[in-house]
């Protein structure tokens, strides 16, 4: 099974979030709410403590990256990344 290691990059735009997988992700998309962002990050299999760290960081800053994320190519495709 092919997989890619990278990071989830999140940029806050008002109350919405632009999310992409880097490097070599194919998509960037908008998530409308903080709870939807949490749900998405759970689908990506980001541990709960790292999700909370990201949410807290995005309340203070407009950008945050979650490093050391490994996704299969199939999972990336299903998630739109």
In tens, the pLDDT along 11-36 reads 999 999 999 998 876 677 899 999 99
In tens, the pLDDT along 36-66 reads 999 999 998 899 999 999 999 999 999 999 9
Q: 10 with 63: CB under 8 angstroms? A: yes
Task: Please name the residues in contact with 7: beta carbons below 8 A apart, sequence gap of 6 or more.
Answer: 21, 22, 65, 66, 67, 68, 69
Domain ranges, ordered by start, for the chain: 3-69
């Amino acid at each position: 099974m092919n997989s890619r290691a990278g990071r989830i990059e999140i940029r806050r735009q008002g109350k919405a979030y632009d999310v992409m997988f880097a490097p070599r992700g194919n998509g960037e998309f908008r998530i409308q709410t903080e709870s939807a962002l949490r749900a998405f990050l759970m689908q990506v299999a980001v541990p709960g403590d790292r999700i909370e760290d990201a949410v807290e960081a995005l309340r203070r800053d407009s950008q945050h990256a979650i490093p050391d994320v490994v996704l299969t190519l199939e999972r990336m495709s299903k998630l739109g990344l």
